[in-house]
Amino acid sequence: MPAWHNNLRIVLVASRNSLNIGAAARAISNFGFSDLWCVRPYDVAFRSARSAAGAVSVLERATVTDSLAEALHDIDLVVGSSGLDARRQRHVQRVLPAGADAIRTHLEDRKAALVFGSEKFGLSNDDLSYCDWILSIPTSDAVPSMNLGQAVAICCYEIARNAAPRSSLQTPASVSAGVRERILRMLVPILRASGFLHRDATETDTRKLRRFVGRLRLAPEDARLLQGMLHQIDWRLHHPGGKSPVPAGHGEEAGPDS
């Protein structure tokens, strides 16, 4: 398989049906992909799918985690698979097959994740806050929802059948979701200490900030600069009369490497 196939990660969140999990894994394998993560799967269903006779190797090697953030830690384009609904105003929304072209172009030299929600509830607002944009399958208005395994198969097919990236869809390099999450975790305490956020700020506030950080699409050097700035602000808030440990004008050297 072409090298770019290794850059796509399929993430199943809170999947509950062993047949759906197995069908999704087989679809991933059918179209040449292999990186599967399962976030908070229903344990009985996952164990049943993995131990079933004929289980594909992609399911046997799947990574299981309780954290969507962990599943996306090294991914710099996160696409949620979701139908058109009232939440679409919060994200850029693309429809197959055009959306697959954008993902395929990104996969040429960078990692992307396609995230699917549970069979019953889809992706939650918290799950969606990690996503850069939403990919939808153009189904009938009369029956808009699809079986999980079928949805994974259609999306993988549309991505795999595009043999070459499109230069018009290329985007600048940006930091991974893991770096964005670290920036968010630095930002929230600072905003609380400054009074911008109340001490009892809700998860809704955190989701709004996560979407804001994601929309910045920070280049690696900009992320390092921002982390240095936040590190300096946090130090000053906790040491109002102390001498700065970071020389003025050198904030870009502070903070973890992205």
Domain harbouring 235, CATH code:
1.10.8
Q: Write down which residue in 169, 204, 234 finishes a domain.
A: 169
- Report if residue 258 sits inside a domain: no
Other residues' Cβ atoms within 10 Å of the Cβ of residue 68: 26
Counting Cα atoms < 13 Å in the Cβ hemisphere of 63 gives 14
- Report if residue 57 sits inside a domain: yes
Other residues' Cβ atoms within 10 Å of the Cβ of residue 230: 20
Looking at the structure, do residues 33 and 156 belong to the same domain, yes or no? Answer: yes
Looking at the structure, do residues 133 and 209 belong to the same domain, yes or no? Answer: no
- Report if residue 86 sits inside a domain: yes
- Report if residue 131 sits inside a domain: yes
Specify the higher pLDDT residue, 237 or 258. 237
* Alpha-carbon gap, residue 44 to 38, rounded angstroms: 13
Looking at the structure, do residues 143 and 15 belong to the same domain, yes or no? Answer: yes
* Alpha-carbon gap, residue 21 to 103, rounded angstroms: 23
Average pLDDT over residues 71-81: 96
Average pLDDT over residues 103-107: 95
Looking at the structure, do residues 88 and 129 belong to the same domain, yes or no? Answer: yes
Of residues 245, 227, 236, 235, the one with CA closest to residue 185: 227
- % of the chain exceeding 90 in pLDDT: 65
Q: Write down which residue in 146, 169, 192 finishes a domain.
A: 169
Give the distance, in angstroms, between the CA of residue 196 and the centroid of all CA atoms in the same chain. Answer: 27
pLDDT of 89 > 90? The answer is no
Domain count, the chain: 2
- Report if residue 210 sits inside a domain: yes
What pLDDT, on the 0 to 100 scale, is given for residue 258? 41
Query: Maximum CA pair distance of the chain?
Result: 67
Of residues 112, 88, 83, the one with CA closest to residue 100: 112
- Report if residue 41 sits inside a domain: yes
Looking at the structure, do residues 110 and 227 belong to the same domain, yes or no? Answer: no
Q: Write down which residue in 169, 189, 204 finishes a domain.
A: 169
Looking at the structure, do residues 73 and 149 belong to the same domain, yes or no? Answer: yes
Looking at the structure, do residues 136 and 188 belong to the same domain, yes or no? Answer: no
Enclosing domain of residue 200? 177-253
Looking at the structure, do residues 27 and 128 belong to the same domain, yes or no? Answer: yes
pLDDT of 253 > 50? The answer is no
Looking at the structure, do residues 163 and 182 belong to the same domain, yes or no? Answer: no
- Report if residue 220 sits inside a domain: yes
* Alpha-carbon gap, residue 40 to 178, rounded angstroms: 18
Q: Tens of pLDDT along 192-249?
A: 888 888 877 688 899 999 999 999 999 999 999 999 999 999 998 888 877 766 554 4
- Mean pLDDT is lowest, of 8-12, 157-161, 175-179, 243-247, for 243-247
pLDDT of 166 > 90? The answer is no
Looking at the structure, do residues 66 and 130 belong to the same domain, yes or no? Answer: yes
Q: What does the block give as tokens for 10?
A: 């399929």
CATH of the domain at 132: 3.40.1280.10
Looking at the structure, do residues 227 and 186 belong to the same domain, yes or no? Answer: yes
Looking at the structure, do residues 43 and 145 belong to the same domain, yes or no? Answer: yes
According to the 3-state scheme, what is the secondary structure of the chain? Answer: CCHHHHHEEEEEECCCCHHHHHHHHHHHHHCCCCEEEEECCCHHHHHHHHHCCCCCHHHHCCEEECCHHHHCCCCCEEEEECCCCHHHHHCEEEECCHHHHHHHHHHCCCCEEEEECECCCECCHHHHCCCCEEEECCCCCCCCCCCHHHHHHHHHHHHHCCCCCCHHHCCCCCCCHHHHHHHHHHHHHHHHHHCCCCCCCCHHHHHHHHHHHHHCCCCHHHHHHHHHHHHHHHHHHHCCCCCCCCCCCCHHHCCCCC
**63-65 and 77-81 as β-strands: parallel, antiparallel, unpaired?**
unpaired
- Report if residue 58 sits inside a domain: yes
